[in-house]
Amino acid sequence: MKEKPSAGVRLDKWLWAARFYKTRADAREMVEGGKVHYNGQRSKPSKLVEVSAELTLRQGNDQRTVVIEAVSDKRGPATVAQQLYRETPESIEKREKVALARKMNALSMPHPDRRPDKKERRDLMKFKHSGDE
């Protein structure tokens, strides 16, 4: 991947090239929605990215903090895309803790063996709405 220091690359295009989001439209929506922070601040999708800038991005339940290592506007294979950034050790540790907590929470909650049938669903709805009256 070649670096373009003079022209620069838009934030949404870099996020797409680094394979954080499947489409540029998704990347743009996340930036506009405040899910991506550039150097600790909200930003616009048209923001030009720079090497060594810090990005904090949220994907579902996960929050990552990455440092931009290289700039590219071409979407390549995942192995090449991973060379565009480096995730901070604190971010990796925090993500692993949250994943473990989520896993432990899922183990403590009972899961039924099967989905309720029509009669059981009606009974559940009746029970849920009985206190609303």
- Is 80 exceeded by the pLDDT of residue 25? yes
Which of 66, 92, 90, 63 is CA-nearest to residue 11? 66
Mean pLDDT of 32-50: 94
pTM for the model stands at: 0.75
In 3-state terms, what secondary structure has residue 24? helix
- Which of residues 6 and 13 earns the better pLDDT score? 13
Residue 4 has pLDDT above 70, yes or no: no
* Burial letters 13-40, b for 16+ CB under 10 A, else e: bbbbbbbbbeebeebbebbeeebbbbee
Distance CA 9, CA 16 (A): 11
Confidence of residue 49 (pLDDT cuts 50, 70, 90): very high
Q: pLDDT at residue 37 above 80?
A: yes
In this predicted model, which residue has the larger pLDDT, 127 or 5?
Answer: 127
pLDDT of residue 7: 67
The amino acid present at 80, given as its one-letter code, is V
Q: Choose among 41, 51, 11: nearest CA to 29.
A: 11
